Amino acid sequence: MQSVNIIVGSQMGSAEYVAEQLAEALEQQGIQVQLHEQPVFDDIDQQDTIWLLCTSTYGAGDYPENLLPFVESINQQTDLKGLNYSVIGLGDTSYDTYNYAGRNLDELLANKGANRVAERLELNILDEALPEDTALAWLPSWIESAGLN
């Protein structure tokens, strides 16, 4: 059975909280999960797993600080064809750089040959629903798209 590696990019804690809620929900369904709050590229399996990258956008469309070394490692890769992934981006629609980190990370992985298993989920922190509630409501369709059911 495939496992899920949840990779967190969080500056203020929102993406971290969403990732923790998703990890708990996946584990309750019997899916093996590893949560990476300080992700190191070489330490995360790429085979027989799905990367679920959950990142906020910081500043003027930037990656959170904890994700910068991880993204730099991805940039140095030439071929990620065996990697399955999905991206969840958190942002604030009052900024023109809304969800740039999630969008850029999704594009970077696709350009390196990784296989997107589901469309990117973009969470607007200004929505009435809490980001974690929206993500948890999305999770069953993601599990189906990822072939984990």
Contact 9, 15 (CB under 8 A): yes
Digit-coded pLDDT (tens) for 50-95: 999 999 999 889 999 999 999 999 999 999 999 999 999 999 999 9
Digit-coded pLDDT (tens) for 97-136: 999 999 999 999 999 999 999 999 999 999 988 999 999 9
Question: Is residue 124 classed as helix, strand or coil in its secondary structure?
Answer: strand
As a whole number of angstroms, the distance between CA 129 and CA 143 comes to 21
The model's pTM is 0.95
Digit-coded pLDDT (tens) for 2-48: 799 999 999 888 999 999 999 999 999 999 999 999 999 999 999 88
